[in-house]
Amino acid sequence: MGFLPITPEEMKKLGWDAPDFVFVSGDAYVDHPSFGPAIISRVLESRGYRVAMLPQPDWRDDASIRIFGRPKLGFLVSSGNMDSMVNHYTVAKKRRSFDAYTPGGATGRRPDRATTVYCNLIRRSYRDIPIIIGGIEASLRRMAHYDYWSDSLRRSVLLDSQADLLVYGMGEYAIAEIADALASGIPAEEITYIDGTVYRARSLENVYDYELLPSFEGLKADRREYAHSFYTQYQNTDPFTARRLVEPYGEREFVVQNPPAKPLTTEQMDEIYALPYMRAYHPSYEVAGGVPAITEIKFSLTSCRGCFGACNFCALTFHQGRIVQVRSHDSLVREAELLTHDPDFKGYIHDVGGPTANFRHPACRKQLEKGACRERQCLFPKPCPNLDADHSDYLRLLRRLRAIPGVKKVFVRSGIRFDYVLAGQNDAFIRELCEHHVSGQLKLAPEHVSDVVLRAMGKPSNSVYRRFLEKYERVNQRLEKKQYVEPYLMSSHPGSGLAEAIELAEYLQETHGSPEQVQDFYPTPSTISTCMYYTGLDPRTMEPVYVARNPHEKAMQRALIQFRDPKNYALVTEALRKAGREDLIGYGPHCLVRPRTKRADTATARTAQRSAAHPVRQKTAPAPQKRNKKPASGRPAPRPAYEKSLKHPRKRDGE
């Protein structure tokens, strides 16, 4: 076995006259199970289909799409592992200078709205060939959606792309069914019966058992109507209870969403991850320095899919769903043993997890029979009484992995749900986690400390986070380890005004936290939080939600979280005065910044310029105390586990 062909020459060496499918992707070709195109292409190959890969074609040249000729069955199109707009632009809508999914990290190798552009490119050359779109961009734009970059409501990407079918979610078995249907001679427009797909219809004569959503024209006219429609879609993301949804566009065009595909069994998951991946990028990229994205996942293991955490700013509910699917221990051990034979493996497995590392089974026993609850969350606002917060399976898995010859350490870096840990019956998991699986820092995502904002986020209250920190500190003290928490924080999420941002800044002052980088809320398609941002309403309750849209206010909220940075002084003081919190400008222990004269401001600016070239400790903010240092009173300073500064901004789902 080897790589699938990416050039006509490689295809000819395999003895093919033509491929069955050409897979067009916005990413470079990386044959690793952490990359969607690799999984889909290998699944098709395992069923006897010939798949040629066409990574990052030149969308400005029609000939680039024709290098393999006309495929026998059709084109498959994906923007890649990220939405192309998130890949290209920061939350401030500035062009990014690095693309981890392109050889050498180069930018400009894919177009904006890649799925649509690639499909239109294909249609110009092959007007009648079947086109099937999938991946994160297509999945989250499958119905009418708010588009942050154009600040407008856009149609389903199925219509704009002129594709025949859209596969949403993970798609392995949907694409296999589609391939079999095409191979048997069924026209693409008649493949309307497969779960996990979206298709176009000219009438509803042959569509049954559906729920009619408001028309696209009605959604554009009334944002309240959009909030209602979005929440209807959210309530129909479960494969066991979801209804078929129909969204009208005018009087003679309809987008029909079939119910989601059923969750994969453990045996099916094992089969997919056992396919013959090369676990590397195509060798032709070596001259450019390789594909940077493989670095983080090369020595990591995917143990699960799906997430019942259901954070409102996360698109996982719409993409992977709330029902957790897992691989067997044997499957993961076999993959770990493969890692030990890699010449670059140094003995460290970087991660064993998924969307949430410590989810290793469905939230409760009934989910695999009746589905996830439509009107209730598993963890928010409090853990459901039916929640099965048992970590024993995950612990057994970690023990087996760290016992493999050649494995020195197994880390858990994909993040854990601390409220789920606290819901457990004992401290066995957190004790073993601290003893064996933390590399000095444990990644957690409290996101904020204001309960007003946390409710809008669908996150547990701040008191839950504080309880976890206290427990984490106690366990590490018993183990005689100095380990810290690395918190992910978010500014400007719907529900957060200046008062809530100041509350977070006060908490960081209290705990000596000093985050170096903060994630601004990014309104990506198909999340409850993005619906809040667009409509100003919480679609769950239809109550108004405060939304910070003004760039200057967003800059103030971000600066408050980084109030120790001298360059943020003007924004922080402006925010404090605007909020009537001048009490936090002074010399007291609870003050965020000190009052300064104009002369002092000039001196500080000069100091900041010098520190950029020669970093020194700034006098404008107290340095975090070391753990063994005592205050003037002679007593240890009471505080929870020290929250270490963020070194890298978190990539959220869909980014």
Encode burial over 629-650: b for 16+ CB neighbours within 10 A, e otherwise: eeeeeeeeeebbbbbbbbeebb
| Residue closest to 40 by CA, chosen among 76, 70, 83, 82 | 76
Helix ranges (DSSP H) in 91-215? 114-125, 135-140, 157-161, 172-183
Q: What is the H or E stretch that residue 397 is in? A: helix 392-402
d(CA 173, CA 178): 9
Residue type, 304: C
DSSP class per residue in 276-294: ----EE-GGGGGGT--TTH
> Which pLDDT score is estimated for 612?
44
Is residue 67 exposed (0-12), middle (13-18) or buried (19+ Cβ within 10 Å)?
middle
> Which pLDDT score is estimated for 638?
42
Question: Which domains, ranges and CATH numbers included, belong to the chain?
Answer: 8-199 (3.40.50.280)
d(CA 53, CA 46): 15
Encode burial over 408-423: b for 16+ CB neighbours within 10 A, e otherwise: eebbbbbbbbbbbbbb
Q: Is 300 helix (H, G, I), strand (E, B) or coil?
A: strand
d(CA 625, CA 623): 6
The pTM is what? 0.90
Ranges under pLDDT 70 in the chain:
517, 597-655
> Which pLDDT score is estimated for 651?
43
Query: Hey, what's the torsion of the CAs at 230, 236, 238, 239, to 10 degrees?
Result: -130
The CA–CA distances, whole Å, from 391 to 352, 357, 358 equal: 14, 11, 7
> Which pLDDT score is estimated for 241?
95
d(CA 18, CA 9): 12
Sort strands 304-305 and 325-326 into parallel, antiparallel or unpaired: antiparallel
End-to-end CA separation in angstroms for the chain: 32
d(CA 490, CA 445): 9
Starting from the edge strand earliest in sequence, which strands make up the sheet with 519-520, in order? 441-447, 484-491, 519-520
Question: What's the count of helices (H) and strands (E) in the chain, helices before strands?
Answer: 24, 24
User: With left for phi above 0 and alpha for psi between -120 and 50, is residue 630 left, alpha or beta?
Assistant: beta
Q: Is 308 helix (H, G, I), strand (E, B) or coil?
A: coil
> Which pLDDT score is estimated for 262?
95
Q: The tokens 């000069």 sit on which residue?
A: 606
Tokens of 442: 């444990």
3-state secondary structure 417-469: CHHHHHCCCCCHHHHHHHHHCCCCEEEEEEECCCHHHHHHHCCCCHHHHHHHH
> Which pLDDT score is estimated for 377?
94
